[in-house]
Amino acid sequence: MTTSNPEADKVLFIPAGDDFAIVSHVEGDQPFGRDASNLPLITWPNGGWCFDANAFMLRLVDRGLSRFNRGGTLATYAAHITPLLRYCENNNVDLVELTDAHFSMFVNSLKAARFKPGSREPRLEPSTVISTASTCLAFLSFVGELHQVHLVGPEAAIRAEIVPSRGRRQTAVKWHHHSFPTRSPERRRLPVGSEVIAALRNAAAEHSPSNYIRRRRQIMLRLLEITGARRSEIAALTVQSVERAAAMQAPRLELVTKKGRGRRKDRIREVPITKSDARLLLEFARVNRSVVIRRTCGRAADPGALLLSETSGFALRPNTITQEVSILVRAAGLYTRVCAHMFRHRFITNVFKALIEEYHVESPDAFRQLLLSAEELKTRVCEWSGHSSLASLARYIHLAFEEVGGVRLAVDAVRAKAAINSFVSELRALNFANMTAVDIENLQRSAKDLTAELSATEGLGQEENGSQKA
């Protein structure tokens, strides 16, 4: 079976609204609800309600999986289930009637799906086929439990087993079936390079349809670079957070982390930024953003987010940030793969490169031991990166050592480079032919901030040298 009908690629769910709730319990005649905002509501291809799939979603809610950004992780699970529901309806077989042969044919249909008829290029990578089919096995195991049918297991109707996952968490497990394809080699998504960032900045300056879009794109790129934030964290960044950072002697930008489960969700983390960057963000909020608010939703309906839609005044969605980066990549004529998450890789790798020098670490294993033994350092790294565990940071340790390549980077040089990059970024954003008095004043402030940053860095270097001589 091949996929050539566009309708076959559509998911079979819609996210519930932000105020959606489900009944948790009843006391007397009084029902009590629980939050189920953005819960994926799943149907069969014919439009009928799929009880089993929606019961599975509720089980995942109990596990605390993310529903942020139109469904979050639950939406991914729902999208994985979609092809299985289509297979069952197309073959007129109920979920509890599936056999091992049925499931093998289903997996083969995923492997055989093409982008378009006649194409030899598969629509799904082998790793994606495995992830999708493994989710379907977890779903079918739940269905068997729900209907008290031995549906999935080593000796069940569908012969599958639970195996340790190759993911970053060693305790994770996944369902495995003999029909799964050979996993494709892992593709490492490398950090975005400085020359690519420069090309994206130029594209934002030269190919934006309006002055506000140009400034918003420049601010978006700068935030991605200096915070290492996820798309959702950039979209949720508030003007209030920018104002607080700008008022600090050592600015720290507050970001809301949506990753994690239970108590770990909606954590606030603080990322240190330069004074120049804090002032740049504040200027955008008070000048460019304020114009959009006055022209669209008005102060009474101000959503509070820093990055807004020019036409509606609503906060940007995380997917819009992905689209904006893609637009800039095309406008810059870049042929390398670039996405918002690669800025995050760059940020974390740079943090590790600075720590390698600061603690004089000689190998990835020694650095890993340092993080495990130094609780304060571990807390600081996880705070800056927004990770809940050090296991998720393993890839960045190797990247950092690869980039250092035996050439030590002084910590003061890293700080100086960050301050200089911030100043250069502001220079590139200016239109020198039409500079106003305000632009000149802001440029003078930035130059003063840069001088202060470099002076402080030089002082630190002299102190270190003095202590070493002593």
Looking at residues 270-297, what average pLDDT do you find?
A: 93
List beta partners, residue 26.
Answer: 31
DSSP 151: -
Provide the edge-to-edge strand list for the sheet that holds 158-164: 152-153, 158-164, 173-177
In the prediction, which pLDDT does 409 show?
41
Q: What pLDDT was estimated at residue 341?
A: 86
Q: What is the set of domains in the chain, with CATH numbers? A: 6-177 (no CATH), 194-462 (1.10.443.10)
Higher pLDDT, 107 or 356: 107
Residue range 225-248: mean pLDDT, rounded: 92
Quick one: pLDDT at residue 185? 64
Residue type, 234: I
Q: Is residue 394 scored above 80 in pLDDT?
A: no
Q: Is the pTM of this model over 0.75?
A: no
Bridge partners of 256, per DSSP, are 268
Q: Which segments of 80-207 are extended strands (E)? A: 152-153, 158-164, 173-177
Residue 407: count other Cβ atoms within 10 Å of its Cβ.
6
Question: Which of 225, 259, 223, 228 lies closest to 241 in space, CA to CA?
Answer: 223
Share of the chain above pLDDT 90, in %: 41
Q: Which of 105, 104, 124 is nearest to 114 (CA)?
A: 124
- What pLDDT, in 10s, does the model give residues 53-90? 999 998 888 887 776 666 578 888 999 999 999 999 99
**244-260 pLDDT per residue, tens:** 999 999 999 999 876 65
Judge whether residue 139 has pLDDT over 50: yes
DSSP string, 337-354: ---HHHHHHHHHHHHHHH
Q: Taking a C-beta distance cutoff of 8 angstroms, is the pair 394, 367 a contact?
A: no
126 vs 404, residue with greater confidence: 126
Measured CA to CA in angstroms, residue 460 lies from 49, 274, 353, 358, 381 at distances of: 65, 16, 18, 13, 22
Give me the helix-helix angle, 194-206 and 411-429, nearest 10°: 20
Of residues 215 and 355, more confidence is placed in 215
Contact 140, 55 (CB under 8 A): no
pLDDT class for 5, splitting at 50, 70, 90?
very low
Confidence class of residue 170 from pLDDT cuts 50, 70 and 90? very low
